[in-house]
Amino acid sequence: MVKRRKKRKRRSSGLFKSAKKLFNLVLSFYIPKEVTSKLGWAWFGSSRVGTPLLVGLLGVILLFSTVPVPYSSYMVQQKINHLLDRKPYEIKKKWVSLDKISWQMQMAVIASEDQKFESHFGIDLNAIQIALQNNTKSKKVRGGSTISQQTVKNMFLWHGQSWIRKGIELPLTFAIEQLWGKERILEVYLNIAEFGYGIFGVEAAAQTFFKKSAKNLTLNEAALLAASLPNPNIYRVDRPGVIMKKRQVWIIRQVSALGGQQYLSRLE
């Protein structure tokens, strides 16, 4: 009995050591040397900080692989910021399972945000290569984020462009790809994405803007919601401008080009 416990401990220890090495390897690859040298990145790889944080994050990821997400990091940040500014801010949200969201809505966000969603492993290597080239020239961090990366950012991290956030985002993206799978990632994404001022998730958005459930959204309505995702505070669903309407039409065409509902069968 004692020997079995010792073996389990050794296996667990080996697993977390391997995970920590991979975590730090990815960080060192993704964050430039100039940044790591300034930050003194060694603190993160230490057993006092790196291992507990890694274990904690993996635990949270495992928990929310099946449990509905009550609040995302971004929701909490927005609430705190408005409280500090003494501004009213009510969060509207209602969790619904993926089968309660119309296929048109699911495909609209894929067509808009991440057309390679079904085939990549969490990141778009071509987009990262282009971003790294641009970042080297401009010394700024630019996007190209997949749905998986956006889910990690909204769920666990903070908004804004920084090498630190990007460095943490990447290994967490790999983790949810492995532990959640595509359908769960899409489900969480559609439930925590912001579609308007304090409006989170497609169910709340559908009820607010169209007075119907997410299950009954048409392709036109879904495409309009998806068109707001770059910045719902600028691209407003209730006041769509010329640019937003053009994007709506483009999304509808892309849904058809991707194969429509048939595309979703490849996520299973």
C-alpha distances out from residue 49 to 11, 44, 207, Å: 21, 6, 43
Q: What is the pLDDT of residue 169?
A: 82
Q: How far apart (Å, rounded) are the C-alpha atoms in residues 61 and 48? A: 21
103 and 147 belong to one structural domain: yes
Do 18 and 143 lie in a common domain?
Answer: no
Rg (the chain; Cα; Å): 20
11/142 same-domain check = no
Please count the residues of the chain: 268
pLDDT of residue 36: 47
Among 63, 79, 97, residue at a domain's last position: 63
260 plus 166 within the same structural domain: yes
Q: What is the pLDDT of residue 151?
A: 95
Contact by Cβ (8 Å): 214, 206: yes
Which of 20, 42, 63 marks a domain boundary?
63
Assess whether 41 and 76 both reside in one domain.
Answer: no
My answer on whether 133 and 260 are in the same domain is yes
Structural domain total, the chain: 2
Of 23, 44, 63, which marks where a domain is finished? Answer: 63
Same domain, 216 and 250: yes
Q: Let me know whether 85 and 217 are in one domain.
A: yes
Nearest to 232 by CA among 185, 193, 204: 193
Nearest of 184, 61, 177 to residue 121 by alpha carbon: 177
Does 119 share its domain with 234? yes
pLDDT the model gives residue 235: 95
109 with 143, same domain: the answer is yes
The answer to whether residues 216 and 102 touch, using CB atoms and an 8 Å cutoff, is: yes
pTM here is 0.78
> Residues 58, 188: one domain?
no
* CATH (domain of 249): 1.10.3810.10
Name the residue range of residue 190's domain.
71-267
Q: Are residues 223 and 163 in the same domain?
A: yes
pLDDT along the chain (268 residues), means of 10: 49 50 50 47 50 76 92 90 88 96 98 94 76 54 77 84 72 91 97 96 98 98 95 94 97 97 92
